[in-house]
């Protein structure tokens, strides 16, 4: 009769076997995990420790085997890593054999951004290293090395920080939808797009033959930590062969955190942090607007928790600073739709019949479906205006926004706010 109960000595041996083999199999993954931690005590300990383990075990070649398995999983359609899928598809198209060490792989065409800003990337440490160097070293002298996206800075990367963001809901009109060709609209961003907004917009666009929606969002991501999720790789892979006419972006909710650039911790909110983040925003905007796409950058709504709200307000200012420098991008701020009369967080809105409508999700961060519906109603009118749109009813900001103003208006507003931003920055300096 075999025993099914065991002693702690046995437990110790089982755990020892587990730890040793886990280190052997997962040394790359652990190093990647440590690299993705927020700067702090744990990261300070974990990064050198996991990298030491990784270096020690690298000669065994387990990492390369692991990457080979991941590629094979991508080939049979198991993987959901868009960049890896694109890379594998590209290799298949070229009829080339996958390189043994993906960390040394050349950037696939499909994984490159339309503006050539992308870098090859598996979710492994080797790829992360490749990405970090690919996000560049040249650029503004103030930037820490290893932050630039390629050569020259993208538009808006070095613009002085705006002191405030406009609450505009105005959008310059789009050219009419061409008969027989649906307008391709990409929805890009983190959970601020994935939760509420995207589903509501897609439901409203489901029966609209003039629109085709492309999903390009991923929860739990952002632009601050490309070593964790690299939008410069993932976005082109998400698009595949689609060439969007319009890109609606809602991103930044996870970006209020420090990061490490060239072994240097940049604390959230410092000037160095802002420079790098603004650079990443600019590179991302250049990528999504490449190919002539019009970009609607949806400002993040006010948040429930004050500390977080302050962070989001700062991220909005940085995003606006960058967006206002791009001729193809429009700043769209829904605070009038989902915030209170002071532009602060509001969870419920009172409807005309006295009922309460939840406009924000219970987490105090995302939009509820109803709240998102207020945004998407306007966006749908803009994306696919009714054939004989009535003249604007001037009863409030929503109605004013529902009918797009003159094309020159956003530019004028941009200029004005750029001026304000410059003044604000000067005062700060």
Smaller CB separation from other proteins, 32 or 274: 32
Beginning with the edge strand found earlier in the chain, give each strand of the sheet holding 211-217 in spatial order: 211-217, 183-189, 246-250, 294-298, 329-332
Residue 117 vs residues 88, 174, 218, 290, 382: alpha-carbon distances, Å: 19, 27, 20, 10, 30
Backbone Cα Rg of the chain: 24
Q: Would you count residue 101 as binding other proteins (CB under 8 A)?
A: no
Site for other proteins in 299-358 (CB under 8 A): 304-305, 347-348, 350, 353-356, 358
The DSSP element (H or E) to which 356 belongs, if any, is strand 356-358
| Contacts by 58-64, CB closer than 8 A, 24 or more apart | 58/27, 60/24, 62/24, 62/25, 62/27, 62/28, 63/27, 63/28, 63/124, 63/125, 63/126, 64/100, 64/101
Q: Are 160 and 135 contacting, i.e. CB atoms less than 8 angstroms apart? A: no
Q: Which x/- pattern over 263-302 shows residues binding other proteins (rule: CB under 8 A)? A: ----------------------------------------
Write down the least CB distance from residue 157 to other proteins, Å. Answer: 28
Q: Would you count residue 147 as binding other proteins (CB under 8 A)?
A: no
Smaller CB separation from other proteins, 50 or 325: 50
Q: Would you count residue 175 as binding other proteins (CB under 8 A)?
A: no
Q: Are 28 and 57 contacting, i.e. CB atoms less than 8 angstroms apart? A: no
- Cβ neighbourhood burial of 5 (10 Å; 0-12, 13-18, 19+): exposed
Write down the least CB distance from residue 60 to other proteins, Å. Answer: 14
Write down the least CB distance from residue 152 to other proteins, Å. Answer: 32
Q: Would you count residue 241 as binding other proteins (CB under 8 A)?
A: no
Q: Please give the span between the terminal C-alpha atoms of the chain, in angstroms, as a whole number.
A: 79
Q: Which x/- pattern over 10-49 shows residues binding other proteins (rule: CB under 8 A)? A: xx-xxxxxxxxxx-xxx--xx--x----------------
> Over the range 402-427, which residues count as b (16 or more CB within 10 Å of their CB) and which as e?
bbbbeeeebeebbeebbeebeebeee
CA distance 331 to 321: 10
DSSP 25-72: HHHHHHHHHHHHSPSSHHHHHHHHHHHHHHHHHGGG-HHHHHHHHHHH
Interface residue with other proteins, options 70, 286, 383, 401 (CB under 8 A): 70
Write down the least CB distance from residue 231 to other proteins, Å. Answer: 14
Q: Which x/- pattern over 105-134 shows residues binding other proteins (rule: CB under 8 A)? A: ------------------x-----------
Interface residue with other proteins, options 61, 220, 392, 396 (CB under 8 A): 220
Q: Which x/- pattern over 362-401 shows residues binding other proteins (rule: CB under 8 A)? A: xxx----x--------------------------------
Smaller CB separation from other proteins, 229 or 268: 229
Smaller CB separation from other proteins, 29 or 385: 29
Q: Which stretch binds other proteins (CB under 8 A): 73-81, 171-179, 270-278, 380-388?
A: 73-81
Site for other proteins in 190-219 (CB under 8 A): 198-199, 202-203, 206-207, 218-219
How many residues are listed for the chain in this entry? 429
List contacts with other proteins (CB under 8 A): 2-8, 10-11, 13-22, 24-26, 29-30, 33, 66, 69-70, 73, 76-78, 80-81, 123, 198-199, 202-203, 206-207, 218-220, 304-305, 347-348, 350, 353-356, 358, 362-364, 369
């Amino acid at each position: 009769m075999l025993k099914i109960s065991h002693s702690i000595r046995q437990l110790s041996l089982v755990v020892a076997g587990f730890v040793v083999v886990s280190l052997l199999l997962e040394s790359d993954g652990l190093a990647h995990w440590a690299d993705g931690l927020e700067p702090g005590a744990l990261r300070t300990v974990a990064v050198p420790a996991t990298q030491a383990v990784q270096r020690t075990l690298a000669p065994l070649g387990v990492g390369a085997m692991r990457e080979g398995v991941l590629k094979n999983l991508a080939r049979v359609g198991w993987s959901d890593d868009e960049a890896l899928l694109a890379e594998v598809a590209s290799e298949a198209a070229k009829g080339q054999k996958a390189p043994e060490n993906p960390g040394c792989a050349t950037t696939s065409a499909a994984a490159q951004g339309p503006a050539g800003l992308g870098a090859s990337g598996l979710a492994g440490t080797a790829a992360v290293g490749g990405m970090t160097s690919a996000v560049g070293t040249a650029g503004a002298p103030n930037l820490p090395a290893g932050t630039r996206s390629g050569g020259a800075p993208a538009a808006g990367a070095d613009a002085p920080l705006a002191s405030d963001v406009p609450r505009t809901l105005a959008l310059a009109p789009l050219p009419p939808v061409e008969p027989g060709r649906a307008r391709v609209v990409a929805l890009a961003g983190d959970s601020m797009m994935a939760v509420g907004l995207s589903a509501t917009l897609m439901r409203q666009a489901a029966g609209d033959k003039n629109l085709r929606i492309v999903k390009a969002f991923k929860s739990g991501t952002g632009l601050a930590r490309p070593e964790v999720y690299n939008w410069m790789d993932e976005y082109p892979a998400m698009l595949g062969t689609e060439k969007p006419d319009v890109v609606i972006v809602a991103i930044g909710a996870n970006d209020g955190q420090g990061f490490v650039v060239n072994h240097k911790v940049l604390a959230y909110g410092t000037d160095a942090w802002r420079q790098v983040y603004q650079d990443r925003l600019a590179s991302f905007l250049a990528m999504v607007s490449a190919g002539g796409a019009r970009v609607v950058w949806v400002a993040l709504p006010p948040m429930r928790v004050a500390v977080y709200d302050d962070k989001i307000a700062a991220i909005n200012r940085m995003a606006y600073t960058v967006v206002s420098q791009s001729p193809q991008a429009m700043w769209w701020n829904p605070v009038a739709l989902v915030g209170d009369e002071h532009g602060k967080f509001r969870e419920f809105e009172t409807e005309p019949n006295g009922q309460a409508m939840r406009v924000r999700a219970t987490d105090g961060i995302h939009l509820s479906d109803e709240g998102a519906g207020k945004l998407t109603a306007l966006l749908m009118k803009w994306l696919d205006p009714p054939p004989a749109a009535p003249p604007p009813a001037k009863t409030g900001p929503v109605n004013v926004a529902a009918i797009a103003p003159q094309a020159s208006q956003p530019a004028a507003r941009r200029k004005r706010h750029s001026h304000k931003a410059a003044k604000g920055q000067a005062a700060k300096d």
